[in-house]
Amino acid sequence: MRFSTVVSRSLVAAALVAGCAASAAAQTGRVGGVVKDEAGNPIKGATVTAENPSASPSSFTAITDDKGRFSIIGLRSGTWTFTATMQGYAPESGKMPVQTIGAPNAPIAFTLKKGAGPTGGGALAGVNAKELQGELAAADQLYNAGQYDQAIAAYKAVLAKAPAVTAINLQIAAAYRNKKEYDNALAAYNDVLKGDPNNDRAKVGIAMTNLEKGDLKAAEESLTTVAQAPGANREVLYSLGEVKFAKGEADEAAKWYQKAAEADPAWGKPLFKLGLVALNKGDKDGTVKAMEKVIAVDPNSPEAAQAKALIEQLKK
């Protein structure tokens, strides 16, 4: 992700307010920016997603207007992965700490290169992009409020206007999972893959939905191929670790948690699970070391708070 210089400064600002993150847990932040092509022309109808597995909600979706602008509201403090996609362009992604207090979050500037991307035609041909952004934001508000039926209806209304923006199905699937309507969730994830066959978020979603259904075999099968491919992302690796852990295969789980930690050394979640694997084996020292590492690399995460509590219990 090609950040403007102001975003680089935001990394320092985020570090300065990190100590206030816990008190800001109930607050949310806003991130906006622009998506352009290599010539500097704004790209209308690009999809921008924000994802943070440690947050709840863990993902958001926005669509750029005719000036290439987007805005995402409702993000919890923490490090988020932002990804911009558009038909005919290679996707671009990167991470940025989001703060909910203090100075506003700096804007993100994406520059997409022509190349392989999701299939389909113009996402917003003949559609008012600004109006669609507002409708999508309203759908997100319904989702955040736990009004899942209304949110699903609102997301589907947006999708009916812009069917090429298949990433909206990720939000629809998440709402169905919260309703425990797993077959509907799987159908929504598969709709994402029809337009974007390489979408790892949809593949992870399918696996985790199968895990929630209690179908461990299907969950494992849907992740293994993706996880073994070169460049598998951290969520894929971590999710396979979760499946192995649910199956009681602690050593196999540890292998994939370790790979996830190596893919993102600043992510505390897989390190925390490595600590739990050690705890299940009765390795007290190994558990404490793993938990101390969680606190060191990801101090503002929910896992860091749990790690501190567990260390205190183990040292009694």
Domain-by-domain residue ranges, the chain? 265-316
- Asked if residue 29 lies in contact with residue 99, where contact means CB atoms within 8 angstroms, the answer is yes
For residue 177, what pLDDT band results from cuts at 50, 70 and 90?
very high
What is the rounded distance in angstroms from the CA atom of residue 186 to the CA atom of residue 242? 19
> Where does the pLDDT of residue 96 fall: very low under 50, low under 70, confident under 90, or very high at 90 and above?
confident
Residue 3 pLDDT > 60: no
Does 17 score more than 80 pLDDT? no
Sign of CA dihedral 195, 199, 203, 208: negative
Q: pLDDT value at position 109?
A: 92
